[in-house]
Amino acid sequence: MPDQAPAVRERIRALLVDMHGADSFVSAVPDAVSLREAGVSSTSLVSLLVAMEDAFGFEWQDDVRPEALRSISSLAQHVVAVRG
Amino acid sequence: MSAGETLERLDLSYHEDAPRIRTREGVELYCETRGEGPAITTLNNFFMTTPTWRVFTDELDHNHRIVSYDLCGHGESTHPAQYPTWEDHAADVAGLLDALEIEQTYLLSTSISTVLAREVALRYPDRVKGIILAGPALGPKGMRRHRQIQRAWLLTLENHGMAALYSHLYPEVFAADMNEELGTPGFLGLRESFLAISTAEELHNGLSLALQGETSPELLAQIEAPTLVVIGDDDILLSTTGARELAEKFPNGSYEIMPRAGHLPFLDDSSGFQAIVAKFIDGVESNA
């Protein structure tokens, strides 16, 4: 099975750009950098999580560890894992 | 305004140009003031910082002077080697009022900081014009249940860390309606805010202090300032009957119940909460 993570990361970044605009900082945030430290607010994160549910066809669970929400890379890893 | 709409406007950022006000030897407090009119000083529970108050006081500031500050040992204020006592925290409020040349203020307190409001009113009665106790950690017969909950939170923090503490307290603090409205994305997003606002050390110090001090409800009879108890009817830490009985412990106490709100009723209905506070202050001012 091909590695899905790059495409998922790209899609997550596109969702962030949709929310913040193409000229915003999110278009250049490295995949592994903390979104919080890069300036993504908690409110934006909530919007991103909702958008990810629609985009990838899954639902978040309350027991997701904070580390999974840290960066574009960790979010993508979570998506790949839950999709099997 | 729903909880979700309010939280969408939650801004946790500090203002670089906000003053640091010296209140005691070696202690400077981050402080923000907005608006004109009777002063309202917000008292943070140990899970809040100054910026969080903006969205919950954005209507009150039309006719009141809002004073918000970070407690000593929290946020952008001085972190002394020895964490403050309740007496120190109360002295900070008096020092803050002195520095801002505010003779009297209303105290807007929430959860654990209702204990601080009590301490300020007992130690500096001339500085307190009125008190709002939102989701009090005070009880009409004592504080055993609150202490047990605070001790459980502290144990969770010590043994399992901040994310586990958040999971522990979330269903105890937030109302069922808000929980359903925000869903899992809201739960996870608020957890990011929770983890960003405080450090484990700050919460450990605050929760440890919460387990100290007087618990007798008879102390409340000594507080002459008009006092308003505000609770949600989904506050599992104090019943609506308990709120009425608590208000009756104060010589000039009253109470308001907010439907479907939880332990922090301003989260569930920010506009409704601010209207209740404004009405209370208007009443006090008109009788002055």
**The domain spanning residue B156 has which CATH number?**
3.40.50.1820
Tell me which residue of B76, B60, B86, B67 sits closest to B27, measured CA to CA: B76
Domain span at residue B257 reads 3-287
Interface residue A66 vs chain B (CB under 8 A): yes
User: Of the ranges B6-10, B121-125, B174-178, B230-234, which one carries the lowest mean pLDDT score?
Assistant: B6-10
Contact B154, B204 (CB under 8 A): yes
What region, left, alpha or beta, does residue B257 occupy, with left being phi > 0 and alpha being psi -120 to 50 degrees? beta
Residues 6+ apart with CB under 8 A from B84: B71, B72, B73, B92, B209
Q: Is the pTM of this model over 0.80?
A: yes
Model confidence at B5, in pLDDT bands (50, 70, 90)? confident
The mean of the pLDDT values for chain B is 96
**Whether the predicted pLDDT of B228 surpasses 60:** yes
**Whether the predicted pLDDT of B89 surpasses 70:** yes
Tell me which residue of B70, B233, B214, B237 sits closest to B150, measured CA to CA: B237
CB hemisphere CA count around B49 (13 angstroms):
23
What's phi and psi for B55, nearest 5 deg? Answer: -75, -20
| Three-state DSSP state, B114 | helix
Provide the pLDDT for residue A1: 54
Residues 6+ apart with CB under 8 A from B63: B35, B36, B37, B278
pLDDT digits (tens, 9 = 90+) for B131-176: 999 999 999 999 999 999 999 999 999 999 999 999 999 999 999 9
**DSSP, res B14:** P
Provide the pLDDT for residue A77: 95
**DSSP, res B70:** P
Provide the pLDDT for residue B255: 98
Say yes or no for a CB contact (<8 Å) between B184 and A62. Answer: yes
**Whether the predicted pLDDT of B6 surpasses 90:** no
C-beta atoms surrounding B139 within 10 Å: 21
Model confidence at B231, in pLDDT bands (50, 70, 90)? very high
Indicate which of B187, B192, B195, B198 best probes the interface with A, i.e. most A CBs within 10 Å of its own CB: B192
Model confidence at B9, in pLDDT bands (50, 70, 90)? confident
Say yes or no for a CB contact (<8 Å) between A69 and B192. Answer: yes
- The most distant pair of C-alpha atoms in chain A lies apart, rounded to whole Å, by 35
Provide the pLDDT for residue B230: 98
The residue type at B81: A
pLDDT digits (tens, 9 = 90+) for B21-53: 999 999 999 999 999 999 999 999 999 999 999
Residues of chain A with pLDDT under 70: 1-2
Chain B's closest residue to A70, CA to CA, is B192
* Interior angle at CA B244, CA B177 and CA B180, nearest 5: 5
Provide the pLDDT for residue B44: 97
Tell me which residue of B139, B165, B162, B155 sits closest to B245, measured CA to CA: B139
Residues 6+ apart with CB under 8 A from A21: none
Domain count, chain B: 1
Provide the pLDDT for residue B68: 98
Give B125→chain A minimum CA distance, Å: 39
**Whether the predicted pLDDT of B100 surpasses 90:** yes
Residue B95 parent element (H or E): helix B86-99
Indicate which of B170, B184, B191, B197 best probes the interface with A, i.e. most A CBs within 10 Å of its own CB: B184
CB hemisphere CA count around A50 (13 angstroms):
14
| Three-state DSSP state, B115 | helix
Provide the pLDDT for residue B10: 82
pLDDT digits (tens, 9 = 90+) for B260-275: 999 999 999 999 999 9
**Whether the predicted pLDDT of B114 surpasses 60:** yes
Q: What percent of chain B has pLDDT over 90?
A: 93
Provide the pLDDT for residue A2: 64
Provide the pLDDT for residue A21: 87
Model confidence at B240, in pLDDT bands (50, 70, 90)? very high
> What domains can you pick out in chain A, each with its CATH number?
5-83 (1.10.1200.10)
Provide the pLDDT for residue A37: 86
Strand positions, DSSP E, A1-84: none
Provide the pLDDT for residue B254: 98
pLDDT digits (tens, 9 = 90+) for B167-226: 999 999 999 999 999 999 999 999 988 998 899 999 999 999 999 999 999 999 999 999
